[in-house]
Amino acid sequence: MMTRLCTTNRQNIPIATCLLLFFLVGPPRSLAHDEWYRGLDLESALADSGLVLVGRVSDVSETKLGVGGKGERSLLQYKFEPVLVLKGVFSRESLLLTSDDLGTQQFNGVTDAAPIETGQLRLLMLGRSFAGYSMRREARSFDQAIPRLNSTNDELIATVNILLAVNHNLDRATKVALLLDGLRKQKGAAAIPLLIAVERRALLAAQTPSAVESIAPHLRDASPAVREQAAKTLYALLKADYLDQTKFREVAANALAASIARPDPSFAPRVAAFEALGAAGLQALENTTVNAQLGLGPLATFAEQGARLHAIGDLKVSGESRAVLTLLTQVPLDAPGELQYGAEWAAARLDRSAGVKEVTLRLKKKHDAGLPVVTEIDLLGNLPSAEITPALVDVAKLPLNHDERMAFVSACKKVVSAALVPALATMLVPAQQDIWWTAVDALIKIDTDDAAKALRPHLLQETNLQRKIKMAEFLGRHGIRDGYPYAIEHMSEPYLREEAIAALAAIREPRAVGELRKILETSNDVAWNSAAVRALGALGASDLAPQFLEMAQDTANPLGSSALIALGDLREAKAIEIVRAGLASRDPQRLEASARAAGKLVALPGVSADDVRDRLAVLLADRGASQPARLAALNSLVELNDRRLDGALGLAVRDAGLENGELLNKIEEQLCQRSVRLTLP
């Protein structure tokens, strides 16, 4: 890394000189691009594989096939002798696979991949096909798809065994403990899959004792790819640390600063470390080692300079505002985006008024010069709305290209200001679906009468029924009933039912109750009748409560679950006994309906139902219950703001069966909002 030539004292050396030196320095040659294992992720591949083995290549043969009478392709046949079976059973002396079985065609044209040759050891992670075994997953490279091993003692094999144990375990906290223990033993390329697996469970890992101590040593690894991944993993943990743990952040910040200071030509680990350092919080600034890395001296690459500036902005480093503003004015308009964004972000964070003014001026200069302004629009969208709204209004007056318009509507969706409605209305062009949908979402988030009026003329232009009905609900909340036909016509369709009923409840069309009653009286279709019951409950047809009570009490009635949800919407206290019984039901639909109704009924004055609240908490944490029922329990407990929720969330977040699902996302969101301290091994 280039020796720092400029100090933070701007009176000693002009910033222009620092900047000139920075731009003249080119990145030195690095061997980091040779690291095939960069970003190596094995966890999901191992989970999905039916057979995982280490095989020695004993023979490779090639067959030429004529194609179309004018072309030719090669089909390679590989013979593997099993050396070590890590998962599954293989009972033969050899395994024959073709290049088609291994999916090597996806890597055609890749020149830096080592071919499979006789004598090599390869790690095979194979799924099932109609013919037998095959590799049915995507990989970043040929070498990552079929990793080459040095020997039967290759450390990657130990990593595979750790990940197989992680996949086997049903407790997410135990998974994290296994991964962290593995990281204390593994090093080099074998650590990367473990670091990535920890990153997936960042919220749990951030509260696991000694997590940072298990990760930090990998910031000192000889491999740039390992150091980069370790920094990325620490970044994820720091972002997930909603408890703002002082010691955790201090240790992480110190390790990141030491990694940045490491003399090495590879820039990627330093970029990742700067990004992580920006998430370390104010505690990082109390560390002299950290402060030493946050000066504005030149670095070897634009990416490093941009990442450091971004960290300065994230941490709001005091005393740097004027220097950063000066630097920003001297950054060329066509400088790399990461440098421009970092400088603009730091300027706006350190001095909101002056920084936003300079960014806006820079945006106009770039536009006049014919340069794209996506970077500036993106940045404005990430700042507080009070200062940003006038700038975005001015941006909308410029002739923008597709990417700039997309950046603009995305920024509006984040800023959420009523002043942006006229500008968003000009972005509603159906031919540009990505921009159209984001603009619609922004207007719905703004949620004013003017936003509804701007969207109203475009309801017919929406071709996606789910989104059309969502628009109809929004318009209905503001007294516009144009979407009523779409909602009532499609409420019987399972994938549209929730949206349609919500829309009907918002629209409040006077004739709706009559039409729904007619459906209930004359239709013999369960789907239509069920939807009608739900909608009548949402519309407050309280005179039907006795009929719905009768339906809900009959566990054999196909309309019972819908009736129970409707009784909850009607706030019918007599249904609380049915809810009690339903929460003990083994019928997933009835259990979900009971959990949904409970949140509304338990909150009624005079209803004593601590046992129902207890049952909701148990249901949320119950690993054997269906996810829709658990989600309903979560929503009810949130609606009740019940004290039992914290403990249930702490148990539910450990359920491995929820990984990669929406319910886990909602659980973690609630943990963050409520700042729940977890009890972990």
The mean pLDDT value for 549-561 works out to: 95
For 332-363, b/e burial (b = at least 16 CB within 10 A) is: eeebbebbbbbbbbbbbbbbeeebbbbbbebb
Question: For 372-387, how does the pLDDT look when each residue is reduced to its tens digit (9 = 90+)?
Answer: 999 999 999 998 877 7
* Other Cβ atoms within 10 Å of 420 Cβ, number: 26
Higher pLDDT, 661 or 16: 661
The mean pLDDT value for 553-572 works out to: 96
Residue 220 has pLDDT above 90, yes or no: yes
Positive or negative, the Cα torsion across 263, 268, 273, 275? Answer: positive
Question: For 470-502, how does the pLDDT look when each residue is reduced to its tens digit (9 = 90+)?
Answer: 999 999 999 999 999 999 999 999 999 999 999
Residue 19 has pLDDT above 80, yes or no: no
Query: What is this structure's pTM?
Result: 0.90
At 319, the pLDDT band (50, 70, 90 cuts) reads confident
CA–CA gap between residue 52 and residue 316 (Å, rounded):
49
Residue 26 has pLDDT above 80, yes or no: no
Instruction: Confirm if 378 and 411 have CB atoms less than 8 A apart.
Output: yes
Residue 343 has pLDDT above 70, yes or no: yes
Name the percent of the chain lying above pLDDT 90: 80
> Which pLDDT score, from 0 to 100, does residue 178 have?
97
Please state the length of the chain: 681
Question: For 584-597, how does the pLDDT look when each residue is reduced to its tens digit (9 = 90+)?
Answer: 999 999 999 999 99
CA–CA gap between residue 625 and residue 587 (Å, rounded):
10
Instruction: Confirm if 47 and 40 have CB atoms less than 8 A apart.
Output: no
Q: Is 681 strand, coil or helix?
A: coil
Least confident of 94-103, 157-166, 407-416, 663-672: 94-103
CA–CA gap between residue 60 and residue 98 (Å, rounded):
10
Q: Is 173 strand, coil or helix?
A: helix
Q: Which of 586, 640, 595, 588 is nearest to 618 (CA)?
A: 595
> Which pLDDT score, from 0 to 100, does residue 7 have?
37
Residue type, 71: G
Positive or negative, the Cα torsion across 20, 23, 27, 28? Answer: negative
> Which pLDDT score, from 0 to 100, does residue 32 have?
57
The DSSP call for residue 8 is S
Give residue for tokens 């969330």: 649
Least confident of 132-141, 176-185, 356-365, 511-520: 132-141
Which helix (DSSP H) or strand (DSSP E) does residue 159 occupy?
A: helix 155-168
Residue 13 has pLDDT above 50, yes or no: no
The mean pLDDT value for 13-25 works out to: 48
Question: For 40-76, how does the pLDDT look when each residue is reduced to its tens digit (9 = 90+)?
Answer: 999 999 999 999 999 999 999 988 887 777 777 788 8
> Which pLDDT score, from 0 to 100, does residue 384 have?
80
List, in order of start, the domains of the chain with CATH numbers.
41-146 (2.40.50)
Q: What is the DSSP string of 226-279?
A: HHHHHHHHHHHHHHH-TT--HHHHHHHHHHHHHHHHS--S--HHHHHHHHHHHT
Region of 447 on the Ramachandran plot (φ > 0 left; ψ -120 to 50 alpha; else beta)? left
The mean pLDDT value for 610-629 works out to: 96
Q: Computed over its alpha carbons, how large is the radius of gyration of the chain?
A: 30
Give residue for tokens 């709305």: 385
Question: For 255-309, how does the pLDDT look when each residue is reduced to its tens digit (9 = 90+)?
Answer: 999 999 998 889 999 999 999 999 999 888 888 888 888 888 888 899 999 999 9
Question: For 166-188, how does the pLDDT look when each residue is reduced to its tens digit (9 = 90+)?
Answer: 999 999 999 999 999 999 999 99
> Which pLDDT score, from 0 to 100, does residue 106 have?
67
Instruction: Confirm if 609 and 581 have CB atoms less than 8 A apart.
Output: no
> Which pLDDT score, from 0 to 100, does residue 608 have?
84
Least confident of 124-128, 374-378, 551-555: 124-128
> Which pLDDT score, from 0 to 100, does residue 104 have?
75
CA distance readout (Å), 392 to 200, 365, 653: 35, 15, 39
Region of 297 on the Ramachandran plot (φ > 0 left; ψ -120 to 50 alpha; else beta)? beta
Question: For 350-374, how does the pLDDT look when each residue is reduced to its tens digit (9 = 90+)?
Answer: 999 999 999 999 999 999 999 999 9
Higher pLDDT, 162 or 14: 162
Q: Which of 468, 389, 388 is nearest to 421 (CA)?
A: 389
Residue 645 has pLDDT above 60, yes or no: yes
Average pLDDT, the chain: 91
Residue 29 has pLDDT above 50, yes or no: no
> Which pLDDT score, from 0 to 100, does residue 139 have?
78
> Which pLDDT score, from 0 to 100, does residue 194 have?
98
Least confident of 387-396, 435-444, 664-673: 387-396
Residue 580 has pLDDT above 90, yes or no: yes
At 114, the pLDDT band (50, 70, 90 cuts) reads low
At 12, the pLDDT band (50, 70, 90 cuts) reads very low
CA–CA gap between residue 170 and residue 271 (Å, rounded):
35
CA–CA gap between residue 270 and residue 256 (Å, rounded):
9
